[in-house]
């Protein structure tokens, strides 16, 4: 239950606030919710790249930027994530960062 609470607190917040909460909360998550959040962001980004489901380019870029920040915070926060996360997921997020426009653009969009 502890992990579910860590992952689901922002469901009723406005979208802009949700993005901020996602990024801020990544610093406080335990290892299991961190893995879940990274895999969730990875899966959603892959799906949006294949089929943007009516989202604008700006909406997608904003989502990608938040996903990249969540990934980077998870990597910084937990050594186990750095050591054991699948290398293809690491490569995916690095390629996504390039697609968004690099580190500076990620922070600008998020």
Mean pLDDT to the nearest integer, 11-29: 71
% of the chain surpassing 70 pLDDT: 80
Helix (H, G, I), strand (E, B) or coil at 27: coil
pLDDT single digits (tens) 67-89:
999 999 999 999 999 999 999 99
Q: What is the DSSP letter of 28?
A: T
pLDDT band at 4 (very low <50, low <70, confident <90, very high): very low
Residue 103: predicted pLDDT: 82
The span from the CA of 66 to the CA of 4, in Å, is 20
Domain ranges of the chain: 15-109
Residue 1 binned pLDDT confidence (cut-offs 50, 70, 90): very low
Tokens of 91: 């490569």
Confidence band of 34 (pLDDT split at 50, 70, 90): very high
């Amino acid at each position: 239950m502890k992990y579910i609470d860590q992952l689901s607190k922002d469901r009723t917040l406005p979208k802009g606030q949700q993005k901020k909460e996602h990024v801020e909360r990544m610093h406080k998550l335990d290892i299991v919710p961190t893995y879940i959040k990274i895999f969730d962001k990875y899966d959603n980004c892959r799906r949006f790249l294949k089929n943007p489901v009516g989202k604008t380019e700006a909406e997608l870029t904003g989502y990608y930027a938040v996903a990249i920040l969540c990934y980077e915070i998870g990597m910084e926060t937990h050594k186990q994530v750095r050591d054991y996360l699948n290398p293809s997921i690491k490569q995916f997020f690095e390629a996504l960062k390039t697609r968004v426009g690099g580190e500076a653009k990620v922070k600008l969009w998020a």
